[in-house]
Amino acid sequence: MNLRTIYFFLLFGVPAVSCAGHPFPNSCFAEIKGTEIHYRYWEPAVESHAGSVFLVHGFGASTYSWQQVADSLARSGFEVIAVDLPPFGYSGNSHRINQSFTAHAMRLHEFLHRYFPGRCWHMAGHSMGGGIVQAYALMFPEDLDSATFVSAVLFPELPFNDHSVNLLLRLSPLRFIIGEFAQKWLINEKRIERILRSAYGQKPNPGQVRAYTEPLSVPGTMRAILSAPAYHRELKSLDASNLEVPSLAVWGDADSWVPYTGKKPALDRMKDTELKLLEGVGHNPMETHFREFMAVWLPFLEKFRLKP
């Protein structure tokens, strides 16, 4: 155990060490209410601790989409966690998981307070993950130093809908049949390459295609994705105008998947959220235009850097 590890253990009460096991050298696993959560931990590469960053991916993605960013932040002195939202990546993929924004936010809140207590977080979410971070910031603002929304599926309002879903939808065998078909025939590198080309706005390299294809190929993942409507329940009503956490929105102006113009109703409610547009950039700026993205985000984070 090195000195930095001992420092983190004394300061935060948990050891900042890489966890052995599949699929990455820094992979770790936690359990929240019976659901296994895969996450990756990056220890700061310098002695001065700049802050704690929590990264949330978008639909169909995994911790991989934040890998370059996490590596860079760790080199700058930040403690970084990236999580696989169930049923994506290498987290549990039960088809009964509630995948709503508020349900994910509550799950992440319990995860952070149980496994990483005592921190205040810079939380960032991409695409669908941006909506989850928005929900988290509205529900648990005391946990956050800042929130960053990247090409985010933001909402102006989120209605509470804790109603019973049609039982026939849950029992329908069609989604199981389609899930099995999709797992075997639709999740392959050729189709993932086409999807990434559209999202990136440029041709992905073979490593990027594999990094998206492999976790989506985990048995049961497509069944869980297709089952989401049967278990979807927003657990709290939220209004974007109540956001009090310092926040930044980063968008590529060539994003055809979630154009920033379509999210103006939400952005207009979030009066203190700064909007930064990256010229000629598509839906995944932190991957395709990493340097440009960090040139915008790192100065924002530096405003909150912890003092030695």
Mean pLDDT of 100-111: 98
Q: How far apart, in whole angstroms, are the C-alpha atoms of residue 165 and residue 95?
A: 14
Is the pLDDT at 13 greater than 50? The verdict is no
Q: How far apart, in whole angstroms, are the C-alpha atoms of residue 237 and residue 99?
A: 16
pLDDT at site 181 = 56
% of the chain exceeding 70 in pLDDT: 85
Q: How far apart, in whole angstroms, are the C-alpha atoms of residue 229 and residue 207?
A: 32
pLDDT at site 2 = 36
Is the pLDDT at 229 greater than 50? The verdict is yes
Top-confidence residue, 105 or 16: 105
pLDDT at site 29 = 96
Tens-place pLDDT, residues 150-164:
999 999 999 998 655
Can you tell me whether residue 154 is helix, strand or coil? coil
Tens-place pLDDT, residues 175-224:
555 555 556 667 889 999 999 999 999 999 999 999 999 999 998 898 88
For residue 176 the two structure tokens come to 């199981």
Is the pLDDT at 38 greater than 70? The verdict is yes
For residue 245 the two structure tokens come to 């956490």
Is the pLDDT at 58 greater than 60? The verdict is yes
For residue 26 the two structure tokens come to 């820094």
Q: What is the mean pLDDT of the chain?
A: 88
Residue 175: burial class (beta carbons within 10 Å; 0-12, 13-18, 19+):
buried
Mean pLDDT of 220-245: 91
Is the pLDDT at 165 greater than 80? The verdict is no
Tens-place pLDDT, residues 268-294:
999 889 999 999 999 999 999 999 999
Sign of CA dihedral 147, 273, 60, 296: negative
Is the pLDDT at 92 greater than 50? The verdict is yes
Residue 277 is given by DSSP the state: E
pLDDT at site 46 = 82
The candidate with the shortest Cα–Cα distance to 288, out of 177, 104, 165, 126, is 126
Specify whether the CB–CB gap between 63 and 71 falls below 8 A.
no
Domains in the chain, CATH or no CATH each = 18-302 (3.40.50.1820)
Is the pLDDT at 90 greater than 50? The verdict is yes
pLDDT at site 9 = 34
Predicted TM-score (pTM) of the model is 0.89
pLDDT at site 162 = 63
Q: Which of 1-15, 54-68, 143-157, 243-257 bottoms out in mean pLDDT, i.e. has the lowest?
A: 1-15
Q: Report phi then psi at 277, rounded to 5.
A: -105, 135
Q: How far apart, in whole angstroms, are the C-alpha atoms of residue 78 and residue 116?
A: 14
